[in-house]
């Protein structure tokens, strides 16, 4: 199928856009005989487990599960039989205890992505391995000044991460704003992708697909195919979007309602601005205020060219994703649940001033080069995914930093594919990146490094001594070795 350019898609207008989305889904359905057309069911949200009096204790069982997807039963993996897993709601200063039960056939573990918590001991420690049939007691303590935001949890076992996340193991973590922005409703929207065969089994992934980063053919929102959202015209909603796809970039086309970007990766932005397009790399989150007029729209993800391996291996290849409809949004008539006038959303309150590390002394500079190389011309199997020429080794410390220091890291990408770089525990302030306007402080915990380019970030290694990792969040790349160890002392 010839890729449809953005220009062509736009030329087709609103009706055409809907047809494009339907067409992409049609392609999938025809390849998986027996599937109903799916879509259209009301959006479901996972159950929310909220802390009380500073504590939340949760048992999460990672297990094979049979889940209805697109009108048929799929064999996946899920936390507590729910895809996504339960949403965890925590306040700054809270203590979160998770009993992780491994009912999978492979070892697993748990990462609380984006939380600023200790990586030591039974905290957010990516070196933990929980064997099949075993369980593990995690404890995460949020500092009293933990920023509010949208975070998520997922397995992070080296060698298993892509497969286990692709199978359905992920869930949201929310730290609410101290002064919530008035909205009619808040929705958690976790986007994932999956490829199912005719029997509802997850398809095997080939080595070349892993090297590209696997992209499932069917894009899901909260485990559903194109769920339907309803609102009254003029209502303001807050969407907490999470890209839980192992490799797919979400190139969201925000057309129709008014979309205002409020936060990225769990950090409120210094100013709220209207936006028509949003790129979320794997692992990224965005909080968006959505205010529809009257109408019906499909939220779409469009193609995004994240490069490929052309010239590096036989067959080359690129992965630009497929245009896909994520959900339908209906704001027609008078679907207000309660009678009475629709509340006026009003202006967004003033947001807190963000820390700007450009005003603080930098005590160290380092350069991390993310690369893909064929070793000794041995063919695809010898392709190495490295950082500074080294594949991941859990027993080696690659970077040692001082607790309390501020460092400037140059993240360079000498490969022909984008790599979204994630540093655990400490968020990154982007200070230099292509054409982006960086006048205000921009904080993210997954920073995309486009092919053959570099991005500079500042990191404040606050609070927590211990060992943790930085890696490519195309989870197949991480599993193939593109991960390093940082120790804060």
Footprint of Cu ion (CB under 5 A): 419, 472, 474, 477
Q: Is the peptide bond before 84 cis (omega within 30 degrees of 0)?
A: yes
Residue 66: Cβ within 10 Å count: 12
Nearer to Cu ion, 88 or 474 (CB): 474
Residue 94: Cβ within 10 Å count: 21
Shortest separation between residue 348's beta carbon and Cu ion, angstroms: 35
Gap between the Cα atoms of 24 and 1, Å rounded: 10
Shortest separation between residue 482's beta carbon and Cu ion, angstroms: 5
Nearer to Cu ion, 130 or 472 (CB): 472
Gap between the Cα atoms of 162 and 484, Å rounded: 17
Gap between the Cα atoms of 250 and 281, Å rounded: 6
- The DSSP-derived string for 427-455 is -EEEEE-TT---SS-EEESEEEE-TTEEE
Nearer to Cu ion, 58 or 472 (CB): 472
Nearer to Cu ion, 264 or 417 (CB): 417
Shortest separation between residue 286's beta carbon and Cu ion, angstroms: 21
Gap between the Cα atoms of 111 and 124, Å rounded: 6
Shortest separation between residue 373's beta carbon and Cu ion, angstroms: 13
- Of 193, 244, 218, 241, nearest to 39 (Cα)? 218
Shortest separation between residue 221's beta carbon and Cu ion, angstroms: 24
What SS3 class is residue 165?
helix
Nearer to Cu ion, 163 or 177 (CB): 163
Shortest separation between residue 215's beta carbon and Cu ion, angstroms: 13
Shortest separation between residue 422's beta carbon and Cu ion, angstroms: 10
Gap between the Cα atoms of 404 and 401, Å rounded: 9
What SS3 class is residue 8?
helix
- The DSSP-derived string for 231-273 is --TT--EEEEEEE--SS--EEEE--SSEEEEEEETTEEEEEEE
Nearer to Cu ion, 17 or 243 (CB): 243
Nearer to Cu ion, 29 or 370 (CB): 370
């Amino acid at each position: 199928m010839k890729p449809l350019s953005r220009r062509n898609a736009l030329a087709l207008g609103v009706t055409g856009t809907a047809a494009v989305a339907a067409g992409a889904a049609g392609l999938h359905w025809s390849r998986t005989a027996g599937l109903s057309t799916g879509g259209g069911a009301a959006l479901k949200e996972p159950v929310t487990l909220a802390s009380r009096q500073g504590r939340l204790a949760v048992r999460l069982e990672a297990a094979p599960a049979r889940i209805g997807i697109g009108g048929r039963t799929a064999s996946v993996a899920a936390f507590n039989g729910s895809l996504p897993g339960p949403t965890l709601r925590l306040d700054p200063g809270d203590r979160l205890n998770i009993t992780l039960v491994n009912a999978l056939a492979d070892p697993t573990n748990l990462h609380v992505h984006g939380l600023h918590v200790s990586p030591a001991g039974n905290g957010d420690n990516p070196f933990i391995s929980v064997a099949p049939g075993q369980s593990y007691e995690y404890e995460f303590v949020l500092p009293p000044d933990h920023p509010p935001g949208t975070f998520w949890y997922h397995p992070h076992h080296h060698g298993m991460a892509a497969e286990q996340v692709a199978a359905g193991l992920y869930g949201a973590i929310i730290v609410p704003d101290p002064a919530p922005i008035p909205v009619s409703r808040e929705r958690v929207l976790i986007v994932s992708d999956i490829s199912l065969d005719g029997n509802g089994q997850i398809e095997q992934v080939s080595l070349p697909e892993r090297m590209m980063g696997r992209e499932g053919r069917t894009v899901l929102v909260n485990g559903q195919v194109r769920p339907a959202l309803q609102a009254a015209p003029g209502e303001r909603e807050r969407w907490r979007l999470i890209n839980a796809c192992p490799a797919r970039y979400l190139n969201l086309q925000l057309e129709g309602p008014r979309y205002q970007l409020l936060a990225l990766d769990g950090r409120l932005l210094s100013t709220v601005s209207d936006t028509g397009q949003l790129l979320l790399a794997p692992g990224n989150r965005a909080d968006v205020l959505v205010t529809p007029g009257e109408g019906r729209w499909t939220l779409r993800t469009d193609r995004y060219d994240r490069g490929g391996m052309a010239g590096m291996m036989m067959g080359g290849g690129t992965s630009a994703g497929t245009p896909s409809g994520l959900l339908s949004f209906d704001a027609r008539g008078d679907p207000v649940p309660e009678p009475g006038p629709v509340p006026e959303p009003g202006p967004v309150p003033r947001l807190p001033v963000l820390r700007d590390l450009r005003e603080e002394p930098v005590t160290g500079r380092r350069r991390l080069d993310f690369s893909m190389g064929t070793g000794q011309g041995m063919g695809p199997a010898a392709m190495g995914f490295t950082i500074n020429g080294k594949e991941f080794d859990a027993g080696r410390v690659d970077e040692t930093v001082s607790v309390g220091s501020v460092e400037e890291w140059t993240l360079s990408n000498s490969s022909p594919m984008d790599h979204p770089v994630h540093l655990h525990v400490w968020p990154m302030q982007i200070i230099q990146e292509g054409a982006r306007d960086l006048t205000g402080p921009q904080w993210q915990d997954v920073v995309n490094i486009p092919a053959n380019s570099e991005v500079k970030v500042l990191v404040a290694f606050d609070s927590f001594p211990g060992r943790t990792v930085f890696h490519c969040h195309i989870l197949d790349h991480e599993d193939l070795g593109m991960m390093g160890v940082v120790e804060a002392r």
